[in-house]
């Protein structure tokens, strides 16, 4: 046995994971160079080795749940090369206007056909609310309705969605609550499809960076976009929302959150899935909102993201035959790794999902939270 494999096995001690073991969460190694690659390059090497077919795992989500739940990932030696990659990732994740549309091109514009298969019928690419839901469709409808309830949306009011995706929220708010809804996105593919889906409704999508938002709105929501803002621009984002929100309005921020403050994201996620992105902490959000907003409510249903991601994965897995002519096998392995590693992280409670309701001056008499 090579020293590199012995080191990896020591790292896995206490996780219940066995190299080439019989459990569904045990990794099966096809290339002996796997061990050195992981030790040299950390999470980037682990993910790239999977994409290259160097290893497999029947239950990849459970593998990551056990790794992250036991914090075995922290035992991997961080060498000079990995430190340089982390430092470079921090430097290049600037959040400048010139980078604003990169996430749209590299993630959201890769193909509406993929997302139409993976997501619910409304194309809701954020965590569902599974409290009383039995499937993805019900969970996503419950989430959209919960958001409308939390901001007290009423017929005739104007509502802004910062990072509106394919228009799921603006369509729902206009159809079910009679609101005049505006969404903004940096994805051309999203805007094109959103315009079609919202045709005939008082709901429009603008292809602009959030810093170019104009107008005044009765309510604002941002569902799953704050992760793309990066910490250097958190305050700017809050200032934009504050300026666009009417004095008596409510702002709901729906975002993935981390248990600690960071200034860079995971190297593999940054390189292959979400460039120029970062997961905020409560401390970072609070600092960005200080002096601008009163935090009225904070609702954590991060465990629901595990269910959402697993539902997305099953949709891709079960319908891959209809997609494989447009996407490579390596892409399928990459996308599988993305969805299942994230599911494992939420299952281990390393990542959270927060809905935070904010007001400018405090709700008179207090805010009554919907659940």
* Residue pair 224/245 in contact by the 8 Å Cβ criterion: no
Residues 6 or more apart in contact with residue 93 via CB below 8 angstroms: 230, 264, 265, 270, 276, 277, 278
**Does residue 198 have an active-site annotation?**
no
Tokens of 302: 């991060």
Q: Which of 321, 309, 331 is nearest to 139 (CA)?
A: 309
Considering just the CA atoms, what is the radius of gyration of the chain in Å? 21
Q: Which of 284, 280, 288 is nearest to 251 (CA)?
A: 288
Q: Which of 127, 139, 124 is nearest to 169 (CA)?
A: 124
Which of the residues 57, 127, 168, 342 is marked catalytic? 342
Instruction: Give the neighbor-by-neighbor strand order of the sheet with 351-359.
Output: 203-207, 180-185, 158-162, 217-223, 245-258, 351-359, 294-300
CA distance 359 to 252: 9
Q: Is 339 left (phi over 0), alpha (psi -120 to 50) or beta?
A: alpha
CA distance 270 to 309: 18
Phi and psi torsions of 327, nearest 5°: -135, 145
CA distance 67 to 83: 21
As annotated, the active-site residues are 342
């Amino acid at each position: 046995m090579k020293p590199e494999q012995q080191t990896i096995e020591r790292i896995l001690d206490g996780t219940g994971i066995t190299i080439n073991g019989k459990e569904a969460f045990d990794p099966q190694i096809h290339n002996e160079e796997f061990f050195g690659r992981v030790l040299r390059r950390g999470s980037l090497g682990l993910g790239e080795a999977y994409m290259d077919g160097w290893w497999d795992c029947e239950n990849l989500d459970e593998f990551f749940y056990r790794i992250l739940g036991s914090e075995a990932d922290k035992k991997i030696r961080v060498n000079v090369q990995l430190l340089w990659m982390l430092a470079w990732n921090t430097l290049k994740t600037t959040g400048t206007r010139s980078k604003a549309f990169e996430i749209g091109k590299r993630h959201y514009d890769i193909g509406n056909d993929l997302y139409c298969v993976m997501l619910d019928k409304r194309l809701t690419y954020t965590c569902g609310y599974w409290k009383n839901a039995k499937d993805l469709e019900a969970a996503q409808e419950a989430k959209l309705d919960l958001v409308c309830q939390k901001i007290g949306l009423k017929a005739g009011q104007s509502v802004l969605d910062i990072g509106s995706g394919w228009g799921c929220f603006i369509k729902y708010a206009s159809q079910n609550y009679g609101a005049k809804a505006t969404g903004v996105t940096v994805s051309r593919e999203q805007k094109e499809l959103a315009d079609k889906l919202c045709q005939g409704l008082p709901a429009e999508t603008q292809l602009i960076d959030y810093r170019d938002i104009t107008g005044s709105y009765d309510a604002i929501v941002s569902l799953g976009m704050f992760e793309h803002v990066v910490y250097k621009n958190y305050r700017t984002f809050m200032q934009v929302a504050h300026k666009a929100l009417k004095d008596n309005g409510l702002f709901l921020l729906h975002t993935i959150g981390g248990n600690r403050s960071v200034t860079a994201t995971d190297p593999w996620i940054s390189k292959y899935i979400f460039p120029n992105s970062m997961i905020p902490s409560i401390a970072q959000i609070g600092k960005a909102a200080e002096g601008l907003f009163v935090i009225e409510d904070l609702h954590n249903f991060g465990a629901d993201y595990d269910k959402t991601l697993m539902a997305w994965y099953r949709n891709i897995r079960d319908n891959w035959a209809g997609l494989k002519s447009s996407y490579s096998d390596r892409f399928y392995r990459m996308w599988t790794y993305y969805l299942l590693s994230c599911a494992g992280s939420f299952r281990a409670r390393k990542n959270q999902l927060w809905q935070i309701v904010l007001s400018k001056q405090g709700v008179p008499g207090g805010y009554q939270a919907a659940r």
